[in-house]
Amino acid sequence: MTEDVLEPYRGQLTGYCYRMLGSAFEAEDAVQETMIRAWRGLDRFEGRSALRSWLYRIATNVCLTMLENRKRRARPMDLTAPGSPDHLPSAPLAETTWVEPVPDALLDPADLAEARESVRLAFVAALQHLPPRQRAVLILREVLSWRASEVAELLGTTVPSVNSALQRARATLAGLPDTAPRRLTPDDENLLARYLEAFEAYDLDALTALLHEEATLSMPPFDLWLRGTGHIRAWLTGHGAGCRGSRLIPTRANGSAAFGQYRPGGEPWALQIIETRDGKVTAINAFLEVKRWFPLFGLPLALSSAA
């Protein structure tokens, strides 16, 4: 057996580690460490258990170690009350504060097709409320559909302990907003095409007509966020007016539509991740640290006027 047998698992392990850690960069680091440990132990593996189970055991241990003594990652909505479009953001917060986006391209296509909703920003943020071992149990049981006996073996515990942890995790998530699974529909795809057209034209009548009345706009690394079509429109005509004339380049993140936003002149400005429900845009998540995000998503750090 050679290390080549490990590579097909990279995408699904990345999805698992991302749900555990809330960061694409940390997930990549965790998977790389998992692969190194597995490669070093291949000659001792000898098929004592399924290769997939063995890799997930290693990845879980790596993630649990990384999560020791660490504050949970969050979204701006988890930290403060909604702000006012009249106020500018305060100082940016450290990157370790935030649940970060992940490119769909890093994830296993089959995993993404089966459990797309489980990598949504809101769901990943909700997972961060769980203690790490409960988080692992819920992901393995509810997202990846492992049997309780498999999870117990992986974690070195008992089936009753796994079932108890799962019940506690479910109860915690039930008390949090916006964790229900959703699937992208053809109507959503049409909605996103209209969003792109309205944003690039900076037609705020058309744009706000696409927003849910309780839609949110967030801008990590700042904790300021806005709720409601009136406040979002006021921001876009006030402090955010520099977005007029922007170009949006489509990409995919967290199982959702996303856009690289470039201001006039080709300046990279934000990675927008758009969430939808019932034919409306419910959230515009604008990640502003473009030098961090654009290379990860394969987006250029400048856009020529001819592009």
8 Å CB contact between 99 and 73: yes
| Residue 5 confidence (pLDDT) | 83
**β-sheet bridge partners, residue 252:** 257
64 or 181: which leads in pLDDT: 64
268, pLDDT greater than 80? yes
Instruction: Calculate mean pLDDT across residues 289-296.
Output: 96
8 Å CB contact between 206 and 198: yes
8 Å CB contact between 249 and 272: no
3-state secondary structure of 54: helix
Considering the chain, what is the average pLDDT of its residues?
91
Q: List % helix, strand, coil for the chain (3-state, nearest 5).
A: 50, 15, 35
Nearest-angstrom CA–CA distance, 61 and 132: 10
| Residue 69 confidence (pLDDT) | 87
Give the lowest-confidence range in 92-106, 168-182, 186-200, 241-255.
168-182
Q: The tokens of 23 are what?
A: 């960061």
Q: How far is CA 25 from CA 17, 138, 214, 217, 300, in A?
A: 10, 22, 31, 24, 19
| pLDDT band with cut points at 50, 70 and 90 for residue 198 | very high
| pLDDT band with cut points at 50, 70 and 90 for residue 300 | very high
Instruction: Calculate mean pLDDT across residues 84-92.
Output: 92
Q: Helices 51-66 and 24-45 sit at what angle, rounded to 10 degrees? A: 130
61, pLDDT greater than 80? yes
8 Å CB contact between 270 and 288: yes
Residues listed for the chain: 307
Q: Could you report the per-residue pLDDT of 7-22, keeping only the tens digit for each?
A: 899 999 999 999 999 9
| pLDDT band with cut points at 50, 70 and 90 for residue 123 | very high
242, pLDDT greater than 70? yes
**β-sheet bridge partners, residue 277:** 280
Q: How far is CA 190 from CA 200, 256, 280, in A?
A: 16, 13, 11
1, pLDDT greater than 80? no
Q: Could you report the per-residue pLDDT of 27-36, keeping only the tens digit for each?
A: 999 999 999 9
3-state secondary structure of 65: helix
User: Which residue type, as a one-letter code, is found at position 196?
Assistant: L
| Residue 3 confidence (pLDDT) | 62
Residue closest to 238 by CA, chosen among 249, 224, 248: 224
Instruction: Calculate mean pLDDT across residues 134-153.
Output: 95
pLDDT above 90 coverage of the chain, percent: 78
- Please list the alpha-helical segments (H only) found in the chain: 10-21, 24-45, 51-66, 76-79, 109-115, 121-127, 132-138, 148-155, 159-174, 186-201, 204-210, 229-237, 290-293
Q: The tokens of 27 are what?
A: 């997930």
Confidence (pTM): 0.93
